[in-house]
Amino acid sequence: MAKGKLKFFSIFLVLLLTLAACSSGAKDEGGDKDQQGGDDDSTVVDPTTFPKTVKNDDAEIEGGTLNYGLVSSSPFEGTLDWQFYQGAPDAEILSFFSEPIFGYDEYYRMSNEVESAAKFELLDDGKKIKVMIQDGVYWHDGKPLKAEDYAYSFEIIGHPDYTGVRYGDAIIQSIVGMKEYHAGEVDSISGIEIIDDKTLTIEFEKANPSLLTGLWPYAAPKHHYGDVPIKDLATSDKIHIDVIGFGPFKVNNIVPGESVEFVAFENYYGGKPKLDSIILKVVDPSKVKKELENGSIDIAEFPTDQYDPAYEPTNFQFLATMDNAYTYIGFKLGRWDAENKVAVQDKDTPLQDVALRQAIGYAMDNETVGKEYYNGLRIPASTLMIPFFKDYHNPDIEGYNYDPEKAKQILADAGYKDTNGDGFVETPDGEELKLTFLSMSGGDTAEPLAKFYIQNWKDVGINVELFEGRLHEFNSFYDLVGRKGNDDPNVDLYQGAWGTGTDPDPYGLYSKTALFNFPRYVNEENEKLLEEGNSEKALDPEYRKEVYDKWQQLMIDNPPVIPTLYRYALTAVNNRVKNYTLENGTDWGLEDISLTSDTPFKN
């Protein structure tokens, strides 16, 4: 039976922040040609020509240690729990030892045909799901996985004292009794019934078309967390140091922010892993190539801004796949009301003017960024429904293509004029217009790219300055943007990225009840369309497509963010690694990866 692990690390069915979004190109402020790129299209590669599976026909050795590079310019935060993590580095670490309870097919849908910790049965026309934990599934401390562990994850997320961001998910909110539980009116979730140690049912207010692609799939070890109040879990050692899962590897040692040692979990329900251990360490983006060449790391995501099409490594291979992610420019329009847990769009800023936001969008030259900064490994984005979702992405919507003259005309028509001759427009009220732009550090090209966008905006008369005159590292960046609900009022624009997971539903990013709605965008039509996309009527794929077509267009007409780039992800793999793939729907999992040499190959 296929194991359906889909990738090296477990499938992400939750929303996650990504660091790679703000790794930059290599241009100066004036937009001169990149040293690699210039006007020569020969440096632009076709990412579809890269393989997705490593080639290695050598005989595998027994055991061994794999060295994995977590590419980041910042230490990882170390919130190692699916209910609480917010950054991609932590999610990457989690994927080695903590996996979903369900299996997924090649279309990223829950499937009972795939080996997994639990099976399921849909009841009551999709308004209820029965979950059955399989025998032989154990947490790393030897305790069996129970139905109450899966129920407990919902109890954490829905609890009034929960300090994370997952409650913004539409399916979670639709569980019968969840809203009352979240409001503190009752002590339990009436729609979740534990039948026995291995079985539970979850009842929903309505059938949801995203149930099989978007249902929360992670269990929480209640016996391990149970003595810690939910309000204290986010800071507890239980999710930072003393962590457990039921995946193929277990955590043996953590050096906070720097490295994690994993060892094989011999009682893994999918079979004992072929590797003895995995050493994960943080690698600065600027040092990835050197670390790969000298064999210090076996596998790492390779920064696309450092890729040179003429470069041919001798000791490692490049793999590539379309990322289920996009980068964007976000507009800070309001604040997070922590008491009522809702976004409020009330920031006193010129960006409340839709015309100004549209002009900013048309001023950005994303095609040049994709070709010259990333050699074609990133392409201009059009809508917020990415091509990864082939059934719902609308390729006929153009989005914000580069058109500086149109940007200038939009500004002029809206009353923005340069009244003092300094080259920058003033507001329709005649006041100075100056916006602050928050961007993230991460590699040598991050700052030039931020300056390139600033220059784009200045070229059409919009005065934008880098927030505090510098870039900000990953963790401080997202704190300023508002991941903890404390939005910095001095930020006007920011450059971010989203990994979408495998569910097309955008509710968890753009609903007014979602903490991840960092722009604090509140729009009645948006809320209506998001609800319709989750309605029982949307069980009809054609109707759901109509809804998401309207939503994509709304986000162009009245944008909270401007999508900039769709992305291909490059992965570098040492030639001694075997059974590694980026292809979904294969029967290779983390436990199947092996080595064909005791020592890594060097360039």
Instruction: Give mean pLDDT, residues 502-509.
Output: 91
Q: Say yes or no to pLDDT of 7 above 70.
A: no
What pLDDT, in 10s, does the model give residues 375-419?
888 999 999 999 989 899 999 999 999 999 999 999 999 999 999
Instruction: Give mean pLDDT, residues 250-254.
Output: 98
pLDDT band at 308 (very low <50, low <70, confident <90, very high): confident
Residues recorded for the chain: 603
Q: Is residue 43 part of a domain?
A: no
Q: Say yes or no to pLDDT of 465 above 90.
A: yes
211 lies in the same domain as 357: no
275 lies in the same domain as 399: no
Q: Is residue 76 part of a domain?
A: yes
CA distances to 22, 120, 155, 514, 585 from 220, rounded to whole Å, are: 32, 18, 10, 22, 26
Structure tokens, 110: 């829950």
Structure tokens, 25: 């190109």
355 lies in the same domain as 267: no
Q: Say yes or no to pLDDT of 483 above 50.
A: yes
509 lies in the same domain as 459: yes
Instruction: Give mean pLDDT, residues 253-281.
Output: 97
Q: In this structure, which amino acid lies at residue 569? A: A
Q: Is residue 11 part of a domain?
A: no
Q: Is residue 25 part of a domain?
A: no
Give the integer Cα–Cα distance in Å for 21 and 554. 24
pLDDT of residue 464: 98
pLDDT band at 1 (very low <50, low <70, confident <90, very high): very low
498 lies in the same domain as 580: no
pLDDT band at 152 (very low <50, low <70, confident <90, very high): very high
Q: Is residue 105 part of a domain?
A: yes
Query: Structurally, how many domains does the chain consist of?
Result: 2
Q: Is residue 24 part of a domain?
A: no
Closest of 181, 190, 122 to residue 156, by C-alpha: 181
271 lies in the same domain as 411: no
pLDDT of residue 3: 41
Q: What is the model's pTM?
A: 0.81
Q: Say yes or no to pLDDT of 13 above 60.
A: no
CB-based burial, 519-538: b 16+ in 10 Å, e otherwise:
bbbbbeebeebbebbbbeeb
Which is higher by pLDDT, 597 or 32?
A: 597
68 lies in the same domain as 162: yes
Q: Say yes or no to pLDDT of 6 above 80.
A: no
pLDDT of residue 43: 56
Portion of the chain with pLDDT greater than 90, in percent: 80
pLDDT of residue 14: 33
Instruction: Give mean pLDDT, residues 255-282.
Output: 97
What pLDDT, in 10s, does the model give residues 409-462?
999 999 999 999 999 999 999 999 999 999 999 877 789 999 999 999 999 999
pLDDT of residue 8: 38
Portion of the chain with pLDDT greater than 70, in percent: 92
564 lies in the same domain as 579: no
391 lies in the same domain as 453: yes
151 lies in the same domain as 229: yes
Closest of 187, 259, 192 to residue 219, by C-alpha: 192
- The CATH number linked to 74 is 3.40.190.10
Q: Say yes or no to pLDDT of 2 above 50.
A: no
Regarding beta strands 316-331 and 277-283, do their DSSP bridges make them parallel or antiparallel, or are they unpaired? Answer: unpaired
Residue recorded with tokens 């008369």: 461
Q: Is residue 148 part of a domain?
A: yes
Closest of 139, 131, 143 to residue 98, by C-alpha: 139
Structural domain including 464 reads 323-568
Which is higher by pLDDT, 165 or 488?
A: 488
pLDDT band at 11 (very low <50, low <70, confident <90, very high): very low
Instruction: Give mean pLDDT, residues 225-248.
Output: 96
Q: Say yes or no to pLDDT of 248 above 80.
A: yes
Q: Say yes or no to pLDDT of 586 above 80.
A: no
What pLDDT, in 10s, does the model give residues 16-63?
333 222 322 322 222 222 322 333 444 567 778 899 999 999 999 999
pLDDT band at 585 (very low <50, low <70, confident <90, very high): low
538 lies in the same domain as 414: yes
What is the CB-side half-sphere exposure of residue 327 using CA atoms within 13 A?
A: 25
Which is higher by pLDDT, 187 or 584?
A: 187
Q: Is residue 7 part of a domain?
A: no
373 lies in the same domain as 288: no
Give the integer Cα–Cα distance in Å for 143 and 226. 14
pLDDT band at 295 (very low <50, low <70, confident <90, very high): very high
Q: Lowest-confidence range among 17-31, 274-288, 498-512, 520-534?
A: 17-31
What pLDDT, in 10s, does the model give residues 52-91?
999 999 999 999 999 999 999 889 999 999 999 988 899 9
Give the integer Cα–Cα distance in Å for 7 and 442. 25
- The CATH number linked to 371 is 3.10.105.10
Structure tokens, 431: 């006041």
